[in-house]
C-alpha cells in the first residue's frame, strides 16, 4: 500500500465521508437553540410563536431534508462523473459545501430559517454524490487498483471517517466549544473546513486510472497515474488488465434499473441489496445519531451530563469501526453484518425495557446509556460499511451501476423517513418505538443468515452459483 494511494483515500474520506458523518450528528446538540431561533423568527414575522406540533414538524424537516438532498445527489453523480471525472466531481461538490456553509452560517444574522433548511439540503446533495457505496466511491483508485487482500480494509475506511465525523460533531457540540446558543450557526458551517482542504489538495493527485483508460481512452494518462499510485514504473500488467476490461465492457450492455428489477437471473442479489440497504437505515441508527440528546434526556440522564455522555458514545463508535475495518478480511462479510444487526436488535429491545423500568429503578438510566452504546457499536462493526461492499461484490459490471442506484436511493429514502417520522413516533408510542427498529434488525440478520453467502475472495460466478 503506497503513500500516494493511502493519501488520496484519506483525503477523499476526510472531505466526503467525514462530512457525511458530521452532518448526521451536527443537528443533535443545537436542537434547543435552533428551535428557539425558529420560534423567535416566526413570532417576529407573524406576531405569534409556533405551536409545539408545528415546531416539531419544522425541525424534523430541517433534520431530514439532508436525506432528500442526498437522494438527488446519488441520482446525479453518475452523469457528473462521466462528464467531469472523479476529481472534477469532487471539486464541484466541495464548492456546493462552501455555499451551504455560508447559508447556514449567516442564517441567524439574516433571520432566515429557510437558509438553514436549504443549506442542509445542499450538504445532503454533496453527501449523496460522495458517500461510501455510491458510483463515485466505486471509481476510487483504492477500490480499483489496491491489492485484493486490502480491498475490504480500504472499502471500510470511509465508514471509519463517518464515525470520526459523528465524533467531531459531538465534541464540537460541547458547551465549552460550540454548544452555546450564539455559536450554533458557526457549528453548522464548520463543514466548509474539510471541503476547503479537499478542494485545495485534490489537484495534487491524478485522476482515477481506470476512468482515464476505460472512459477517456487516455493510455498515457492512465499509465502515469498508475505509476504514481503504485510507486513503480512497471505497470504494464495492470494496463493490459484494464485494456482487457475495456474490451469486455464494450461488448456488454449496461442494464437499466428497470432491467435490473426484471432480471430473474439476479433477483436474489437485487433483493439482498434492497433488504440490507433499507435495513441499514431502518435499523434506528439515524434516530440515535439525529436525536441522541433527546433519547438520553428521556432516559433520565441529568441534562448537564448529556453532552459528555454523547461524546463517550462517539469515541466507542470510532473504536468499533476500527475493529470492523481490521477484522473484515479475516472474519468475512457475513459474520460482521449478522453480529452487528443482532447486537443492535437486542440493545434496542434493552432501551425499551430500561425506559419502562427507570421510574422504579433509577440506575436503569445507566443501562439505557450502555444499550445506546451497544446499538452504535453494533452498527459500526458491520452494518455501517458491509452493505456498500456487498452491492459491488454481488453484481458484474453490467449490473453494478443500476444496483448502486437502487441501493443508494433506498438508503436515502429510509434515512429521510426515520429522520422525519421518529419524533412523532416517539411522542405517540413512547418507549415502545424502539421495538419497531428491533424487529427490523433481527429480521435483516435472519435474512442474511439464510440467504446471503459469504463474498470474501469469491468471484461473481461463484456467488451467483450459491444464490442459484
Domain boundary at 164, 182, 205, which? 205
Q: Provide the pLDDT for residue 184.
A: 92
Report yes or no on 224 lying in a domain: no
Based on the domain organization, do 140 and 265 belong to the same domain?
no
Report yes or no on 250 lying in a domain: no
Q: Provide the pLDDT for residue 411.
A: 85
Based on the domain organization, do 200 and 302 belong to the same domain?
no
Report yes or no on 248 lying in a domain: no
pLDDT tens across 1-26, in order? 666 777 777 777 777 888 888 998 88
Based on the domain organization, do 305 and 171 belong to the same domain?
no
Based on the domain organization, do 49 and 109 belong to the same domain?
yes
Percent above pLDDT 90 for the chain: 18
Based on the domain organization, do 123 and 63 belong to the same domain?
yes
Based on the domain organization, do 199 and 281 belong to the same domain?
no
Q: Is the confidence at residue 79, as pLDDT, over 70?
A: yes
Q: Is the confidence at residue 459, as pLDDT, over 80?
A: no
Based on the domain organization, do 163 and 277 belong to the same domain?
no
CATH number of the structural domain spanning residue 448 = 1.20.1250.20
SS3 sequence, the chain? CCHHHHHHHHHHHHHHHHHHHHHHHCCCCCHHHHHHHHHHHHHHHHCCCCCHHHHHHHHHHHHHHHHHHHHHHHHHHHHHHHHHHHHHHHHHHHHHHHHHHHHHHCCCCCCCHHHHHHHHHHHHHHHHHHCCCCHHHHCCHHHHHCCHHHHHHHHHHHHHHHHHHHHHHHHHCCCCCCCCHHHHHHHHHCCHHHHHHHHHHHHHCCCCHHHHHHHCCCHHHHHHHHHHHHCCCCCHHHHHHHHHHHHHHHCCCCCCHHHHHHCHHHHHHHHHHHHHHHHHHHCCHHHHHHCHHHHHHHCCCCCCCHHHHHHHHHHHHHHHHHHHHHHHHHHCHHHHHHHHHHHHHHHHHHHHHHHHHCCCCCCHHHHHHHHHHHHHHHHHHCCCCHHHHHHHHCCCCCCHHHHHHHHHHHHHHHHHHHHHHHHHHHHHHHHHHHHHHHHHHHHHHHHHHHHCCCCCCCCHHHHHHHHC
Provide the number of structural domains found in the chain. Answer: 2
Question: What domain range is 446 assigned to?
Answer: 255-467
Domain boundary at 166, 182, 205, which? 205
Report yes or no on 238 lying in a domain: no
The pTM score is 0.81
Report yes or no on 228 lying in a domain: no
Based on the domain organization, do 345 and 440 belong to the same domain?
yes
Q: Provide the pLDDT for residue 138.
A: 53
Higher pLDDT, 18 or 293: 18
Based on the domain organization, do 32 and 180 belong to the same domain?
yes
Based on the domain organization, do 17 and 139 belong to the same domain?
yes
Report yes or no on 225 lying in a domain: no
Based on the domain organization, do 194 and 268 belong to the same domain?
no
Q: Is the confidence at residue 116, as pLDDT, over 60?
A: yes
pLDDT band with cut points at 50, 70 and 90 for residue 155: low
Based on the domain organization, do 188 and 337 belong to the same domain?
no
Amino acid at each position: 500500500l503506497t503513500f500516494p494511494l493511502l493519501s488520496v483515500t484519506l483525503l477523499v474520506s476526510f472531505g466526503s465521508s467525514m462530512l457525511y458523518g458530521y452532518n448526521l450528528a451536527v443537528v443533535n446538540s443545537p436542537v434547543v437553540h435552533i428551535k428557539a431561533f425558529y420560534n423567535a423568527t416566526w413570532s417576529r414575522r407573524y406576531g405569534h410563536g409556533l405551536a409545539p406540533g408545528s415546531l416539531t414538524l419544522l425541525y424534523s424537516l430541517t433534520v431530514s431534508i439532508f436525506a432528500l438532498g442526498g437522494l438527488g445527489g446519488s441520482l446525479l453523480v453518475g452523469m457528473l462523473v462521466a462528464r467531469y471525472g472523479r476529481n472534477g466531481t469532487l471539486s464541484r461538490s466541495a464548492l456546493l459545501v462552501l455555499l451551504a456553509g455560508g447559508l447556514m452560517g449567516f442564517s441567524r444574522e439574516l433571520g432566515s430559517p429557510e437558509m438553514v433548511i436549504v443549506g442542509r439540503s445542499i450538504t445532503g446533495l454533496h453527501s449523496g454524490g460522495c458517500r461510501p457505496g455510491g458510483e463515485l466511491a466505486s471509481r476510487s483508485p483504492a477500490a480499483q487498483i489496491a491489492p485484493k487482500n486490502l480491498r475490504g480494509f480500504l472499502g471500510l475506511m470511509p465508514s471509519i471517517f463517518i464515525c470520526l465525523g459523528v465524533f467531531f460533531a459531538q465534541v464540537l457540540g460541547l458547551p465549552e466549544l460550540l454548544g452555546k446558543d450564539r455559536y450554533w450557526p458557526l457549528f453548522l458551517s464548520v463543514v466548509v473546513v474539510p471541503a476547503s482542504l479537499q478542494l485545495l489538495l485534490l489537484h495534487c493527485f491524478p485522476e482515477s486510472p481506470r476512468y482515464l483508460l476505460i472512459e477517456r481512452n487516455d493510455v498515457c494518462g492512465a499509465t502515469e497515474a498508475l505509476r504514481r499510485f503504485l510507486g513503480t514504473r512497471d505497470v504494464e500488467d495492470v494496463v493490459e488488465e484494464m485494456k482487457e476490461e475495456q474490451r469486455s465492457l464494450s461488448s456488454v450492455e449496461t442494464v437499466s434499473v428497470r432491467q435490473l428489477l426484471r432480471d430473474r437471473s439476479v433477483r436474489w442479489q437485487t433483493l439482498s441489496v434492497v433488504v440490507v440497504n433499507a435495513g441499514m437505515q431502518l435499523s434506528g441508527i439515524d434516530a440515535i445519531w439525529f436525536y441522541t440528546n433527546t433519547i438520553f434526556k428521556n432516559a433520565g440522564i441529568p441534562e448537564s451530563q448529556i453532552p459528555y455522555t454523547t461524546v463517550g458514545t462517539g469515541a466507542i463508535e470510532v473504536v468499533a469501526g476500527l475493529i470492523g475495518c481490521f477484522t473484515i478480511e479475516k472474519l468475512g462479510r457475513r459474520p460482521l453484518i449478522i453480529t452487528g444487526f443482532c447486537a443492535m436488535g437486542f440493545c434496542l429491545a434493552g432501551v425499551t425495557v430500561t425506559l419502562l423500568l427507570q421510574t422504579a429503578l433509577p440506575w436503569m438510566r445507566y443501562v439505557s446509556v450502555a444499550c445506546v452504546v451497544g446499538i452504535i457499536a453494533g452498527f459500526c462493526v458491520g452494518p455501517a460499511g458491509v452493505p456498500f461492499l456487498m452491492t459491488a461484490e454481488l453484481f458484474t459490471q453490467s449490473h453494478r451501476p443500476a444496483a448502486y442506484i437502487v441501493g443508494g436511493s433506498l438508503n436515502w429514502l429510509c434515512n429521510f423517513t426515520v429522520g422525519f417520522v421518529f419524533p412523532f413516533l416517539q411522542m405517540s408510542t413512547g418507549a415502545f418505538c424502539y421495538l419497531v427498529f428491533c424487529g427490523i434488525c433481527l429480521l435483516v440478520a435472519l435474512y442474511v443468515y439464510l440467504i446471503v453467502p459469504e463474498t470474501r475472495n469469491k468471484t461473481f460466478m461463484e456467488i451467483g452459483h450459491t444464490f442459484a
